[in-house]
Amino acid sequence: MILETFPVGMLRCNCTILGDETTREAIVVDPGDNVSEILTRLAAHKLALKQILITHGHIDHVSGAAHLKRVTGAPVFLNQHDLPQLAMMEWQAEFLGVPLPEVASPDASADDGRKLGLPNFPGEVIHTPGHTEGSICLYFAPQQLLLAGDTLFAGSIGRTDLPGGDGSKILRSIHDRLLTLPDPVLVIPGHGSETTIGEERATNPFLSR
């Protein structure tokens, strides 16, 4: 497995490339910016992009998706409940003081339980509303890997004060859908450093009941 996570854009969103070194196929999760760097990294590994997966519709996670799709032809997946986030992209850009990006209308909805990823690295969508209504995590069970978007961070959780956010929903999502995963699962959040499910269950101050 080729696994590269690197921060992109002003808000340093974690963009992840997951590739298969035997089939030379890849997926990209959250191409928030720096599309040329993403393309350079894909080319360096001789990887063909198969899917563009967006964990939620915030500008810092989705901004490069249209450009990346145009160059590679890969379809874009976003949960349908975050279409309203795309519709308010102008507001998001103004709120953060960044230029309005080209908006990619998703090719399909990343609905709960949907199988995505690559044949040798199958992933499943876990719908985790709270940070936004359409927030998802991507779980690669055989690899014990969770791409958590802005739902769960190392020592913290996603903010819920933006439009569509809901503080009780994010806690329910994390407790019911994420903390039920095995301890060793590696968590790559949407921002900041990686962690594990076990570490967050034991030490995350936002999750103690």
H-assigned helices in the chain: 35-44, 59-62, 65-72, 83-87, 89-96, 167-173, 197-203
Does 20 bind Zn ion (CB under 5 A)? Our answer is no
Q: Which residue has the tokens 């709960």?
A: 112
Closest distance of CB 193 from Zn ion, Å: 17
Q: Give the three-class secondary structure for 27.
A: strand
Closest distance of CB 85 from Zn ion, Å: 9
The interface with Zn ion within residues 42-81 (CB under 5 A) comprises: 58
Q: What is the spatial distance between Cα 159 and Cα 143, in angstroms, rounded to a whole number?
A: 28
Of 33 and 150, nearer to Zn ion (C-beta) is 150
Q: Tokens for 112?
A: 């709960």
Of 70 and 159, nearer to Zn ion (C-beta) is 159
Task: Please say whether the beta carbons of 21 and 50 come within 8 A.
Answer: no
> Which one of 22-30, 81-89, 146-154, 176-184 is the stretch in contact with Zn ion (CB under 5 A)?
146-154
Give residue number: closest CB to Zn ion: 58
**How many residues of this chain interact with Zn ion, rule: CB under 5 A?**
2
Choosing from 20, 33, 133, 150, the residue that interacts with Zn ion (CB under 5 A) is 150
Q: Tokens for 30?
A: 């959250």
Of 58 and 169, nearer to Zn ion (C-beta) is 58
Closest distance of CB 81 from Zn ion, Å: 14
Closest distance of CB 31 from Zn ion, Å: 14
Q: Is 58 left (phi over 0), alpha (psi -120 to 50) or beta?
A: beta
Q: What is the spatial distance between Cα 14 and Cα 39, in angstroms, rounded to a whole number?
A: 15
Of 19 and 149, nearer to Zn ion (C-beta) is 149
Of 51 and 63, nearer to Zn ion (C-beta) is 63
Q: What is the spatial distance between Cα 156 and Cα 200, in angstroms, rounded to a whole number?
A: 9
Contacts with Zn ion by CB under 5 A lie at: 58, 150
